[in-house]
Structure 1
Amino acid sequence: MTELVATTTGLFPLPDWAKSDLSDLKGHQKDDLISGDESEEIVAQYDRARSEGIDRQRSAGLDRIVEGQYRWDDMLAHPLCVHDNVETRGIVRYYDNNNFYREPVITGDLGFDGDMAADLETAAETVETDALQAVVPGPYSLADLATDEHYGDDLLDGVTDFLVDEVGAFPDHATLFVLEPSLVEEAPGDGEDERASEAIDRLAGATDADVVVHTFYGALTEKVHAHLLDADVDAIGYDFVTDHEQNLYNINEYGTKDSISLGLVDGQNTKVESPDTVRERVEWVSENAPGASFDTAYVTFNTESFYLPTSKFEEKLDALAAAAKTEVEA
């Protein structure tokens, strides 16, 4: 039997109260925010959002709980945008959608920062280790989102070193979700695909947790998928909302890991999937990948979820948790 684990990809939408309160506070403290500093009032608002988000995940019945990444205004680029050796400049479109982030320009070595670890430490105060899930941008995606004025050909290595150090400072956690949309959106070419896999392998070695590399916004090319399988991770994630046929083809043609992450709930559409619909999608993957046998299937969003209204997001949390209460044949 395959164990179903209900979880999320992190990057939650801010609750409605936080959007207005934080907008007012940030408007008064614009200069501090540009330099990466946050006032006690802003920190308190994010702490409240994180606490409420953890409580909501717990009440929904999720198996893994994240801290929510409420501070990540720049989405996956956040760890760079708050770094001392990164300048934020103009506004850049975030992949192919209507969200934008500040352009992070790397101007010096990406030394240890500890920003992500600090947020996870706060979450770990109330979340048990066997339920705590960390979320990080993948090294290839983070390098892709950056503008480099320092590393040159060593950019991917520099970003990987940075992430390895950051993850190494995390409190004990059960699962690490590594989000790698750029492997789909800006697929690496010959040679670079192998380097991307090696970077992910290095990052996975920084934690004792189960490591899930979650890809989305479509399907990996066959060659990128084949190289990704070489990384020593526990599961690869597939966006079955955007392109279920090609993702299924990759699994059947090249195999996958012993566990899998199933992106079955739409993180960009307000239509709420029922638990029955989610279960049917789990069963569809199982029935149509007859050669695959999974120890664990992480049932989750296909993308980040910050695009959603809070009410719809919470309904989707409930659907994920309810859908994972049954086991499926391996």
Structure 2
Amino acid sequence: MTEYVSTAAGLFALPDWAKDDLSDLKGHQKHDLIDGDEGGEIASTYERAREEVVSVQREAGLDRIGDGQLRWDDMLAHPLAVHDAVETRGIVRYYDNNNFYREPVVSGELDFSGDVASELEATAELADGEDLQAVLPGPYSLAELATDEHYGDDADFLAAIADFLAGEVEAFPEVETLYLLEPSLVEDAPEDGLDERASQAIDTVAAATDADVVAHPYWGALEEKTYAHLLDADIDAVGFDFVSEQEDNLYNIQEYGATDDISLALADGQNTLVEDPEAVRDRTDWVFDQIPVTDFETVYLSTNTGTFHLPYNKHEAKLEILAEAADLAEVTAA
């Protein structure tokens, strides 16, 4: 029988009190950024915020518990922005034009960092046996967001990013699921040849863990060749952003099939309108009515993007409706 799993795409909204405290402690505005080695009161604030977001996920009944990536001021660029071999330069707009990050310029060898693993270790202690979910930028998106001043070749740089992320994953505590966020596969679609290398890079990261790996593009649908190559990677599920695009995502599944598991992004991570659990369940049924393959082993119900733009109470509500929708889907399936 199909298992329905409620989760979210990471990059959570900060609790209101934490936003206020961190703004005062850092002494800068919302989009001013830090270098990742904060200590003292700032570190203590993040620890308390992590405790709260883990508690909120458990109370909501979410099936996967994540750390929320609360320290990721540079958003998807964070794993590079805090690396010793990377220089952060000017402020750059993300694809959604509503958030910013410091441009990470790779000037040396991308050896092991351990930054993300340390956050997950702390989260694992708080999760107290609950299934843990890790979130990372996918290798293609991270390479597209960065500037290479060391490797000298696009293919070598993408491979180096993939090897770096794989090394980080190997240091993770036991996690049940790993979401690789790959919006660049949609927003900056790879050209011929690069689409195959992007799939190989994702495969490199996926091979570094025993966790179930979800490659999650968003803000649209993948081009056909990109999707076909992605299916060649050793991943467990592809994420489909049905909030942003329905027809093209359905076409890809209808034309090329899907992995044994599937991730359906049916809750809007950037809209304050809170969906109804029954509506999310009905949208799940609607997707399955449109595609030839419905005997998935696991169906993940998630937000399409991170919820970092949302007011914190709306973020909490989104988690609750996903948990309720997954429960409803389980009952319907039974």
Partner of 1:118: 118
Structure-1 separation of matches of 2:187 and 2:35: 30
Partner of 1:307: 309
Structure-2 separation of matches of 1:292 and 1:279: 15
Q: Taking structure 2 as the reference length, what is the TM-score of the superposition?
A: 0.95
Q: Which amino acid aligns with 2:48?
A: R
Moved more, 129-138 or 260-269: 129-138
What are the superposed Cα offsets for residues 224-280 of structure 1, whole Å, 9 maximum, x if unpaired? Answer: 000000001110000000001110110011001011000000011100001011101
Partner of 1:284: 286
Structure-2 separation of matches of 1:291 and 1:271: 31
Partner of 1:225: 227
- Give, in angstroms, the shift of residue 159 of structure 1: 0.6
Structure-2 separation of matches of 1:35 and 1:8: 26
SS of the residue 2:239 aligns to: strand
Q: Which amino acid aligns with 2:58?
A: R
Partner of 2:69: 69
**Alignment pair present for 1:173 and 2:175:** yes
Contact 1:255 1:292 in 2 (8 A): no
Structure-2 separation of matches of 1:173 and 1:269: 29
Structure-1 separation of matches of 2:326 and 2:111: 40
Structure-1 separation of matches of 2:34 and 2:313: 31
What are the superposed Cα offsets for residues 129-156 of structure 1, whole Å, 9 maximum, x if unpaired? Answer: 5610111110000001101111121110
Structure 1: where are the runs of 5+ without partners? Answer: none
SS of the residue 1:171 aligns to: coil
Partner of 1:196: 198
Partner of 2:152: 152
Q: Give RMSD over aligned pairs.
A: 1.4
Q: Could you tell me the percent identity over the aligned residues? A: 65
Q: Which amino acid aligns with 1:109?
A: E
Partner of 2:13: 13
What are the superposed Cα offsets for residues 43-85 of structure 1, whole Å, 9 maximum, x if unpaired? Answer: 1111111110000000000000101100001111000111111
Contact 1:129 1:172 in 2 (8 A): no
1:120-135 correspondence to structure 2 within 5 Å? 120-128=120-128, 131-135=131-135
Change (3 A) 1:188 1:312: same
Structure-2 separation of matches of 1:35 and 1:77: 12
- Give, in angstroms, the shift of residue 24 of structure 1: 1.2
Q: Which amino acid aligns with 2:264?
A: L
Partner of 1:97: 97
- Give, in angstroms, the shift of residue 35 of structure 1: 4.6
- Give, in angstroms, the shift of residue 293 of structure 1: 2.2
Contact 2:277 2:322 in 1 (8 A): yes
Q: Taking structure 1 as the reference length, what is the TM-score of the superposition?
A: 0.96
**Alignment pair present for 1:163 and 2:165:** yes
